[in-house]
Amino acid sequence: MNEPAGTSVEDLLARVLAYPFGVPRESYVLADGRAEEPRAEDLEAGERIAVLAYGANASPAALTAKLGELAEGVRVPVVAAELRDFDVVYSAHVSPYGAIPAALQRSPGAVASVHAIHLTRAQLARVHRTEPNYELVHLQGLDLRLEGGRRVESVRAWVSRHGCLRRGGGHVGVAAVPVQGRTWPARSEEDILAAVRDELAPGEPLGDFVSAHVADPDLAARRTAILRATAAPLAWPHDPATPLLS
């Protein structure tokens, strides 16, 4: 997901502001890098591992890039779902490609539009290598309702290692992710980056602010540490699910 050398500040910023990169509202199958309408058999429970996607991982373009050659010649079901009592908020970190990405947080009464990606063990391991700021966990006791009516109580998910960003005593919803009954304010990627820029580098053009921490991992780590200092962890019991990767 990192930008290639020589990317202009303008192009880098345009990509970052596109986060989470065009997530469909409906179910689809990723087939050779294309989002296709799923067949009935695609949506059946099988031997693949269901992993919750609530940000860029549900984007056909982002998922294709993360899977690499493991996306070639296969069909990867990405099933639309509703997750009750959760919101999709911003994480307290800056990503390697410059964005402030999503995190999952408990929010009683809210219903978040999410997806369940069904991956092979090899595909899961590949995507996990692209998630240095997230821990793969096992969430249980959920009310996750997949398209078609099936209810799921247990699923794997990537959870931010840095916690959920806090502003003004609460969290900030990712405006690009539909959530019914959202109680926290929602902001766009541009708005949240600008707010963080105003705190950490007042007056700096937004493109320069983003490109600086993309080019300098140490600066990214320092900025993340500041955001993390006031963050809150996911308020839902979870256990590490990394044995799945071995």
Helix residue ranges per DSSP H, the chain = 9-17, 60-67, 121-128, 189-200, 206-215, 217-228
Q: Using 50, 70 and 90 to split pLDDT, how confident is the model at 5?
A: low
Residue-wise pLDDT tens digits, 181-239: 999 999 999 999 999 999 999 999 999 999 999 999 999 999 999 999 999 999 999 99
What residues does each domain of the chain span? 9-245
Look at residue 203 in the predicted model and tell me its pLDDT.
Answer: 97
pTM over 0.85: yes
Residue with tokens 């003004």: 168
For 9-245, CATH gives: 3.10.490.10
Q: Using 50, 70 and 90 to split pLDDT, how confident is the model at 105?
A: very high
Look at residue 137 in the predicted model and tell me its pLDDT.
Answer: 97
Residue-wise pLDDT tens digits, 40-90: 777 665 689 999 999 999 999 999 999 999 999 999 999 999 999 999 999
Look at residue 43 in the predicted model and tell me its pLDDT.
Answer: 66
Mean pLDDT of 160-175: 96
Residue 1 has pLDDT above 60, yes or no: no
CA separation (Å) from 223 to 11, 66, 82, 229? 22, 25, 33, 10
Look at residue 40 in the predicted model and tell me its pLDDT.
Answer: 75
Mean pLDDT of 113-142: 96
Residue 22 has pLDDT above 80, yes or no: yes
Look at residue 242 in the predicted model and tell me its pLDDT.
Answer: 73
Give bridge partners of residue 106 from the DSSP assignment: 86
CA distance between the termini of the chain = 24
Mean model confidence pLDDT for the chain: 94
Residue 246 has pLDDT above 70, yes or no: no
